[in-house]
Amino acid sequence: MRTADKAHPIVDAAAASLFQPLSLGGLVLPNRLAVAPMTRVSADEDGRASARMAHYYERFARGGFGMVVTEGIYTDQQFSQGYRFQPGMSDDGQADSWKPVLFGIQAHGVPVVAQLMHAGAISQGNRFREGTVAPSVIQPQGRQMPFYYGTGTYGRPSAMTDAQIADAVAGFGNAAKRAVAVAGFDAVEIHGANGYLLDQFMTDYTNAREDRWGGSTRSRIRLSLEVLKEVRHRVGAAVPVGVRISQAKVNDFSHKWQRGEEDAEVIFGSLGDAGVDFIHVTEFEAWKPAFGDAGPTLVHLAKKYAPAAAVVANGNLHEVGKAMSALGDGADMVAFGRGALANPDLPKRFAAQLPLRDFDPVILGPLADIKASELSL
Ligand SMILES: Cc1cc2nc3c(=O)[nH]c(=O)nc-3n(C[C@H](O)[C@H](O)[C@H](O)COP(=O)(O)O)c2cc1C
């Protein structure tokens, strides 16, 4: 019987492109397969990463992934926290708590990316502040997520002042610096997607500001660019910095950018011009046209308008053929969410042409916390 191990995977020739090393802003990744960021609300109540998390994350590195992106980590002790039991990077104690997690992953030669996030208006659990902040006083659509301890509708946020915006930007910078210098992360991903604060600024219907942060797409992407600049300044040129971008949101799955490819050009083009090292694009089904029934995918557009940035593709790609097509479509790397939860050894399975386990939603219910049953997968 054929067996595969990490050092010498037996790779079907057709899947070989997924197992080519990749240089990402100077960081060498052993292959093109990444774990997508997934919030599992399994930190301590005070935002420290737990032993359970260390165990959970190590399995992905052992299973052959070439890069692990963490769950969204909150950045400051103001309005960024989104969920109870979410890990933070808001002080050195929280940063220290990641060391055993990183040790377990990096021991396999696998780099780890800290995803930094500010929840903005869709925060549903923050132990530092009452209430939420957002670009504008617009109550978010949808309902809070029970599997992250939420109930009912979202609260009405207050509109951020310039000082609060500056604090949020500084929070990203401080958290990025701590993630790299204290915890030992290899790279940083700024969460600009999925309906959280930076996406609230980028989205037409959640941003009604008439100052320099609102209006045209170019103005609405400004906050993400400011955060990118600050993070870059704080971590230095040698640390890869990426931004995650989506159209859909956790509270609006079907949102599409109103101006289609013109918006894509502004968003990806300005990130590329700002020197982003990678853009992580997520769509529900990443191989489908970004707008309407025909035309290019969002992955393709990211590469087209930010050719110097590496593109990470995500969204229902946990099939070897789909993952390879994403590479052919412009991606440099493919990230897996639910496919990785069900198959922490997905790369080894791809390499050995073994079938994947189906994702079982029981993993995420009734709460999304890491389950003991999962740790034996
Ligand atoms: C339990 C769970 C938690 C998630 N948490 C995050 C998160 O913290 N940050 C983020 O950018 N995306 C998050 N996502 C979205 C995933 O990264 C990914 O985009 C989504 O699962 C679609 O990819 P897939 O089809 O490979 O699962 C989460 C998804 C799941 C299932």
CATH number for the domain that contains residue 74: 3.20.20.70
> pLDDT at position 376, please?
87
Question: Where does residue 265 fall: left (phi above 0), alpha (psi -120 to 50 degrees), or beta otherwise?
Answer: alpha
Which residue, by CA, sits nearest to atom 7 of ligand 1?
Answer: 38
Flag whether pLDDT at 3 surpasses 90. Answer: no
3 lies in a domain? Answer: no
> pLDDT at position 372, please?
93
7 lies in a domain? Answer: no
196 is catalytic: yes
Domain ranges, residue 192: 13-375
> pLDDT at position 377, please?
82
Within 13 Å, how many C-alpha atoms sit on residue 297's CB side? 23
Flag whether pLDDT at 2 surpasses 50. Answer: no
Alpha helices in 72-182 (DSSP H): 92-97, 99-106, 162-178
Atom of ligand 1 nearest to the CA of 336: 26
1 lies in a domain? Answer: no
What's the mean per-residue pLDDT of the chain? Answer: 96
Rounded to 5 degrees, φ, ψ at 118 are: -120, 120
Rounded to 5 degrees, φ, ψ at 198 are: -65, -35
Which residue, by CA, sits nearest to atom 4 of ligand 1?
Answer: 38
Atom of ligand 1 nearest to the CA of 340: 26
Number of domains present in the structure of the chain: 1
Determine if ligand 1 sits within 6 Å of the CB of residue 194: yes
> pLDDT at position 5, please?
47
Give the pLDDT band of residue 12 (cuts 50, 70, 90): low
Per-residue pLDDT tens over the stretch 277-292: 999 999 999 999 999 9
> pLDDT at position 4, please?
44
Give the residue-averaged pLDDT of 354-363: 95
Q: Between 207 and 7, name the one with better pLDDT.
A: 207
2 lies in a domain? Answer: no
8 lies in a domain? Answer: no
Flag whether pLDDT at 85 surpasses 70. Answer: yes
Determine if ligand 1 sits within 6 Å of the CB of residue 338: yes
Give the residue-averaged pLDDT of 266-270: 98
354 lies in a domain? Answer: yes
Atom of ligand 1 nearest to the CA of 191: 11
Rounded to 5 degrees, φ, ψ at 282 are: -125, 135
Q: What percent of the chain has pLDDT over 70?
A: 96
Distance CA 204, CA 335 (A): 27
Give the residue-averaged pLDDT of 249-274: 98
| Closest of 209, 277, 204, 291 to residue 244, by C-alpha | 277
6 lies in a domain? Answer: no
Flag whether pLDDT at 1 surpasses 80. Answer: no
205 lies in a domain? Answer: yes
What does pTM read for this prediction? 0.97
Virtual torsion, Cα 281, 336, 189, 104, nearest 10 deg:
-170
Catalytic residue among 57, 74, 196, 305: 196
Per-residue pLDDT tens over the stretch 143-202: 999 999 999 999 999 999 999 999 999 999 999 999 999 999 999 999 999 999 999 999
> pLDDT at position 9, please?
53
